[in-house]
Amino acid sequence: MKKSLLVLTEATLLSLACIGTGQMINVDPVQAAVTKGQSAKLARNAYVYNSKGKRIKFPTLEKGEDLMIIATKKINGKKYAAIGKNQYVKASNFEKEAPKAGSTVRLTHNAYVYNAKGKRVGKTVLKKGKNVNFVDIVTINGKRYSQIGKNKFIKNSNVSDIVTTVAD
């Protein structure tokens, strides 16, 4: 509880530093919320790897576990998070940072547009790589969607990178 309060406090202080500019701030694309010195939650079960990227005999880490990130490292071109001495977890196994309302996000897959009932709207397709304005994350019929406009939704799995964000 103290860790989450500390992280929330740090995020609030950082966002307060940007108040008053009223302009959009460019941010590097974010794939996973993996930051040195912070804890991160696993989005799926994960294996543990050594510094060469080989899986080690270690119990599988369960979805939902909070892990303290010691450092981040690229191994064989992939980003890993160090969780202990010679113990690494793929950064893609951690929950993604949720975008804020008003942010611009990039599509990682072609995405159909859906209405508020989860029904596809015509044959409208948004192409991979397109930047769209993000409004909110909603659950429709048990599935998560990103709202991109009034009565316009796309499946949340098609959204990956935060391109720009709005200062609060």
Q: Pick the residue with more confidence: 28 or 159?
A: 159
CA-CA distances (angstroms) from residue 114 to 40, 67, 80, 121, 163?
Answer: 31, 35, 35, 5, 23
- Quick one: pLDDT band at residue 39, thresholds 50, 70, 90? confident
- Quick one: pLDDT band at residue 160, thresholds 50, 70, 90? confident
- pTM value is 0.50
Mean pLDDT over residues 81-110, rounded? 85
- Quick one: pLDDT band at residue 33, thresholds 50, 70, 90? low
Is pLDDT of 138 > 50? yes
Report how far residue 67's alpha carbon sits from residue 74's, in angstroms, rounded to the nearest whole number. 18
Is pLDDT of 133 > 60? yes
